[in-house]
Structure 1
Amino acid sequence: MADLVYPPVIGFARTVFRLQGLRFDIRGTEHVPREGGALLVSNHIGYMDFMFCGLTALPSRRLVRFMAKESVFRHKVSGPLMRAMKHIPVDRSQGEHAYARALEALRGGEIIGVFPEATISQSFTLKAFKSGAARLALEAGVPLLPMAVWGTQRLWTKGAPRSLGRNRFPISLRVGEQLRPEPEEKPEALTGRLRARVQELLEDAQRGYQGRPAGPEDRWWLPSHLGGTAPTPQEAARREKAAPGD
């Protein structure tokens, strides 16, 4: 069945990005397969991450179906769009349904987008990964595509004001080589390898990032180990425990 909604939505989003003056540094798109199932696996630092992650598949003429929290699908505006674009709702109390849908889509040759940290990282560092992506890759027999985003937290993230007007922020996207399971590899081991690769890509994106804080008060989007004022991973974990969810 033809995708009648997804391509126009992408076109609209790209127009908005141009109006915002966003500057993209995208590398590794050649690793996205032109056919067949795959899991695109990224870190998660902002509410718009899925929009940017999906751009990396466009050179291969692919569309990414993202797994997203179920509440997004209940919204009167985003819900119909998400369903029309064939994204997959995730009810965290009944995750097996989303898993089954994702598995079916992968076996049908789709690219599925996953954020294995499950929620936005308020420290902007990499959190622990859930093993679902690795289990899906093992069961479906498809490769994992590790990737990293950086700069998206400056637009819209948890606990910070939105900046959705013209801002000219740089956005860095990195896609790594396909990661395939080793013979008899367990999900936990594959998850560890996947997380390590995403960490490498994230550090590469941070090293090459062209954006700088506008002043002393504009260091909130930098993690503490890079001289920023974002909460440490320990502080972020305490905040998340006190107020769970995205």
Structure 2
Amino acid sequence: MSDVTYRLVIRACRGVFRVLGLRIEVHGDEHLPTTGAVVVVANHHSFIDFMLVGLVGTRRRRFIRFLAKQVVFDLPVVGSAMRRMGHVPVDRAHGEVAARQALRALQAGEAVGIYPEATIGRAFTVRDRAYWRHGAAHLALATGAPLVPVAHWGAHRVVTVGGRISLRRGTAVQVLVGAPIVPRPGENAEQLTTRAHALIEAMVESLVAAYPQPPRDPGRAWWWPAIRGGAAPCPQECGHLEEAVVRGMPSVRGAGVSRQVRARGRESVR
């Protein structure tokens, strides 16, 4: 697979970071293996989250192949670039196709990126465990690949849902990479997802607690979590709206991944 397009996009993303003057800090990137199959899971708060997770990959000399909504691939120029970079389209009607493509990427030793929350969280906290999809866990269990958790916070201040866009320079963006989560013997997808959720939730909370640019007046800051006195909507208010966005979206829950494929997957990544 040629990664010329991916390299060009990386340069463009770095240019965007410089223009915006973002103060990006990345910690724990050594936890992302430099080789071999790995499933990267992250929280989702903004439209540029993939740039931050991708930044972790480039620091480890890896390209992360993200699962993304089909609508992104339908865009004339963007869609072509996404395919050239090896990203995986997720079609509502044929989720099993995305599952098989992601599985093949892992069998080839690639890093696959998934957002288990399935949509941008409007409360700017990690969505409740009940809303998390199990696709990442299924793929990890099918191949034996570790799950690498990535938490980030602050990018939603730049651009997120609801038409929230800010070109203010100097916004702090924090990225934290956790130690790989290795599937335990006998563990199922639900149990593995629960472990990943608890870890990423704790990581995000630690980033918010130590955020270097807290608002002077939390009650007037739309981007500050309600659980910390901010003006962001509370998770309960967001739940139904966010679920409406993802309702009907496909899941890669073992789609097309038979026991035989699981066995071949484990062998291919040993």
**Amino acid of the residue matched to residue 221 of structure 2?**
R
* Number of the residue aligned with 2:266: none
Which residue pairs with 1:11 in the alignment? 11
Task: Note the residue ranges of structure 2 that are not aligned, 5 or more in a row.
Answer: 250-270
5 Å-filtered alignment, 1:72-221, equals 72-127=72-127, 128=129, 129-163=132-166, 165-213=167-215, 218-221=220-223
Query: How many aligned residue pairs are there?
Result: 245
> What displacement does 1:77 show?
2.5
Provide the C-alpha distance between the structure 2 equivalents of 1:110 and 1:224, rounded to a whole number of angstroms: 38
Aligned residue number for residue 233 of structure 2: 231
- Cα RMSD of the aligned pairs, angstroms, is 1.7
**Is the alpha carbon distance of 1:159 and 1:201 closer, same or farther for their aligned partners in structure 2, counting shifts above 3 Å?**
same
Q: Structure 1 pair 84/190, CA: closer, same or farther in 2 (3 Å)?
A: same
Q: Deviations over 1:38-92 (max 9, x none)?
A: 0110010111111111101122100111100010001122111111111101113
In the alignment, the residues of structure 2 paired with residue 175 and residue 160 of structure 1 have an alpha-carbon distance, to the nearest angstrom, of: 28
Shift of 1:216: 6.2
Give the drift of 1:19.
1.4
User: Would you say the 8 A contact 2:118–2:246 is kept in 1?
Assistant: no
Three-state SS of the structure 1 residue aligned to 2:159 is coil
Q: What amino acid is aligned across from residue 190 of structure 1 in structure 2?
A: L
How far is the alpha carbon of 1:12 from its aligned partner? Answer: 1.4
- CA, structure 1 residues 218+15, in 2 after alignment: closer, same or farther (shift >3 Å)? farther
Instruction: State the secondary structure of the residue aligned to 2:76.
Output: coil
The TM-score with structure 2 as length reference comes to: 0.86
% same residue: 42
The answer for unaligned runs of 5 or more in structure 1 is none
Greater helix share, 1 or 2? Answer: 2
Relative to structure 1, is the Cα distance of residues 180 and 243 closer, same or farther in structure 2, using a 3 angstrom cutoff?
Answer: closer
Residues 150 and 171, structure 1, Cα contact 8 Å, conserved in 2: yes
Which amino acid is the alignment partner of residue 205 of structure 1?
L
- Residue 41 of structure 1: aligned partner: 41
Structure 1 residue 203 displacement after superposition: 1.3
Report the Cα offset of residue 212 of structure 1: 2.6
Q: How has the CA–CA distance of structure 1 residues 214 and 17 changed in structure 2, closer, same or farther, with 3 Å as cutoff?
A: farther
- 1:168-202 per-position Cα deviation (integer Å, ceiling 9, x unaligned): 11111111000001111111111111101111111
Partner AA of 1:38 in structure 2: V
Cα distance in 2 between the residues matched to 1:174 and 1:3: 26
1:11-30 correspondence to structure 2 within 5 Å: 11-30=11-30
Question: Given the two structures, how large is their TM-score scaled by the length of structure 1?
Answer: 0.94
Distance in structure 2 (CA, Å) of the matches to 1:44 and 1:75: 21
> Would you say the 8 A contact 1:146–1:175 is kept in 2?
yes
Deviates more, 1:3-12 or 1:208-217: 208-217
